[in-house]
């Protein structure tokens, strides 16, 4: 229901949706039809996370319809607009062509041999269930052990 602007029947339940202009209108409609929507102010500590989550979800939806090159251009437009906010310039770093990600910095162990990288992205949580499409648990453990920080004094 949070992003639903149609006249469909509301779904009763718990929500944690940022109130946008569109959602505020939908809530007014609900209140006139016997439903009661409950809202509260977002706490100061939670506001950065709640707002960033909303912006991230919106950008993700828009980016899905763009080519990778167009996504980089759009991302840089967003970042450029953030640079206009006082104090934000030092945090804004434009995206290079690609997009590309740094995946590792590895020291050469032998000629042409570098430490292996876990198949599971570090930025994502994963539950390894040993299903055919999951990475091998053994491979992931070996890769994690190789990539660990050395313990001081060993």
- What is residue 25's three-state secondary structure? helix
CB 39 within 8 A of CB 19: yes
- What is residue 113's three-state secondary structure? strand
Helices (H) and strands (E) in the chain, counts: 4, 2
**If you average pLDDT over every residue of the chain, what do you get?**
82
Q: What is the pLDDT of residue 122?
A: 58
**pLDDT per position as a tens digit, 51-100:** 999 999 999 999 999 999 999 999 999 999 999 999 998 999 999 999 99
Cβ atoms within 10 Å, residue 15: 13
Rounded CA-CA distance 35/29 in Å is 9
**113 strand-pairing partners:** 110
Residue with the larger pLDDT of the pair 42 and 129: 42
Q: 144 is written with which tokens?
A: 């994690």
- What is residue 97's three-state secondary structure? coil
Residue with the larger pLDDT of the pair 44 and 12: 44
């Amino acid at each position: 229901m949070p992003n639903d602007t149609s006249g469909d029947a509301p779904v009763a339940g718990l929500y944690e949706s940022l109130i946008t202009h569109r959602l505020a209108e939908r809530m007014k409609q609900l209140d006139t039809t016997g439903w009661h929507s409950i809202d509260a102010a977002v706490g100061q500590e939670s506001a950065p996370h709640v707002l960033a989550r909303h912006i991230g979800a919106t950008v993700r939806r828009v980016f899905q319809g763009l080519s990778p090159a167009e996504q980089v251009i759009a991302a840089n437009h967003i970042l450029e607009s953030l640079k206009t906010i006082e104090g934000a310039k030092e945090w804004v770093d434009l995206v290079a062509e690609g997009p590309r990600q740094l995946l590792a910095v590895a020291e050469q162990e032998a000629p042409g041999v570098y430490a292996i990288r876990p198949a599971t992205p570090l930025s994502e949580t994963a539950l390894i269930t040993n299903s055919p499409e999951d990475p091998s648990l053994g491979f992931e453990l070996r890769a994690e052990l190789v990539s660990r920080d050395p313990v001081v004094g060993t």
